[in-house]
Amino acid sequence: MIDPSAKIDPTAKIAGSVTVGKGTIVKEHVIIEGDVVIGEDCVIEPFCVLRGPTKIGNRNHIYQFCSIGEGCQDLKYKNEPTTLEIGDDNVIREHCTMHRGTIQGNSNTKVGSHNLFMVNVHVAHDCIIGDNCIFANNATLAGHVVIGDYVIFGGLSAIHQFGRVGAHAFIAGMAALNMDVPPYVMAAGHYAKAHGINRVGLLRRGFTEEQVNAIRRAYMVIYHKHNTIEQAVEQLEEMARTQDCIVPLVEFLKQSGRGIVR
């Protein structure tokens, strides 16, 4: 169903069970195929290809030449009806690619809200991305990657399959991640190593000096006290009794399957 207030350019090609919400603009030579739902007040710039099953929320701006909801590049993928879900208020710049999930994974690739994907970012199958993230040009996420809220990826950075990056982490340009990056941590290099906490970002987002100092002490426990992960978790659990900001670190370390950057 196409809302009467939506503006669809005559050169756009729409086939299948497509829903276009109120006030959405679909520009020249866009192709939309399959079970695709586009919310309200979105803008789809020229020459984009959207394939379903894909659900796109409200007020998303998808720039020209993007491929959204295509089947993934996993060799096990046999065109099963897996999905892509995108939240609200995202900006997806030119040449970005976002693939649907696999039945071996979540069967769903999920992108949150208020994210910025700069030119040529790739989001592979079964990724889960939080809210308020920034991915600079050519950042690449392999399959099954999980990204927390307020994460920043520098240009040309990449992360290995099944990698995880915690909330408020900062990944430097051209970093190559083969291990998990805990919340609040800055990582850089090939392969990436930890380089302190994202102090500037935390203060910009309203963390207090007391909280930032607590996070810095937690970083010392993990990286400078020669602790095993188990020993670090035990000490951080004690710190978390009085500082809620330490709780995400504890939970992340407990769930890390690949190990963390060092």
> Which residue is associated with the tokens 């592979």?
124
3-class DSSP string for 92-118: ECCCCEEECCCCCCCCEEEECCCCEEC
User: In angstroms, rounded to a whole number, what is the distance separating the alpha carbons of residues 197 and 187?
Assistant: 9
Q: Which residues lie across from 25 on neighbouring strands?
A: 7, 43
Catalytic residue among 69, 99, 112, 126: 126
Q: Exposure of 143 by Cβ count < 10 A (0-12 exposed, 13-18 middle, 19+ buried)?
A: buried
Catalytic residue check, 35: no
Write the CB contacts of 12 (distance below 8 Å, at least 6 apart in sequence): 26, 27, 28, 29, 30, 31, 32
User: In angstroms, rounded to a whole number, what is the distance separating the alpha carbons of residues 51 and 122?
Assistant: 16
The residue count for the chain: 262
Catalytic residue check, 143: yes
Question: Residue 116 has which token pair?
Answer: 């910025």
User: In angstroms, rounded to a whole number, what is the distance separating the alpha carbons of residues 180 and 80?
Assistant: 29
Catalytic residue among 87, 143, 148, 166: 143
Catalytic residue check, 114: no
Backbone torsions φ then ψ of 252, nearest 5 degrees = -65, -45
Catalytic residue among 69, 99, 122, 125: 125
Positions marked catalytic: 125-126, 143
